[in-house]
Homo-oligomer: A and B are copies of this chain.
Amino acid sequence: MPSASVPPATPPTTPAIERWAEQVRAGDVRAISRAMTEIENRSRHTESLLRLLFPHTGHAYCVGVTGAPGTGKSTLVDRLAAHYRAHQQTVGVIAVDPSSPFTGGAILGDRIRMQGHASDGGVFIRSMATRGSLGGLSQATSDATLLLDAAGKKYVLVETVGVGQGEVEIARLADCTLVVLVPGMGDDVQNLKAGVMEIADIFVLNKADREGAERFEQQLRAILQIVPERDGWKPPIVLAVATENKGIDELARQIERYREHFKGQDSCRAKETALWKERLVNLLRERLVHRVADELARDGTLERLAGEIADRRRDPYSAVSDILQKAGLGSEH
Identify which of residues 155-176 in chain A touch chain B, using a CB-to-CB cut-off of 8 Å. 161-168
CB of A274 closer than 8 Å to a CB of B: yes
Q: Which residues of chain B are near A314, meaning CB under 8 Å?
A: 3
Closest Cβ of chain B to A61, distance in Å, is 15
Closest Cβ of chain B to A38, distance in Å, is 14
CB of A7 closer than 8 Å to a CB of B: yes
Whether the pair B101, A195 counts as a contact (CB closer than 8 A) is yes
If over half of A's interface residues share one DSSP class (helix, strand or loop), that class is named, otherwise mixed; here it is helix
Total copies of this chain within the assembly: 2
Partner of A163, one of B100, B168, B323: B100
Q: In the complex, A302→B273 CA distance in Å?
A: 10
- Which B residue's beta carbon lies closest to that of A330? B9
- Which B residue's beta carbon lies closest to that of A293? B281
Q: In the complex, A284→B288 CA distance in Å?
A: 9
CB of A35 closer than 8 Å to a CB of B: no
Whether the pair B281, A100 counts as a contact (CB closer than 8 A) is no
Sampled A-B contacts (27; CB under 8 Å): A1-B326, A3-B318, A3-B322, A6-B321, A7-B332, A8-B317, A9-B320, A10-B318, A51-B315, A51-B318, A54-B312, A102-B162, A102-B196, A134-B164, A135-B135, A161-B164, A163-B164, A164-B164, A164-B166, A276-B305, A277-B303, A277-B306, A279-B316, A283-B320, A287-B324, A288-B288, A288-B289
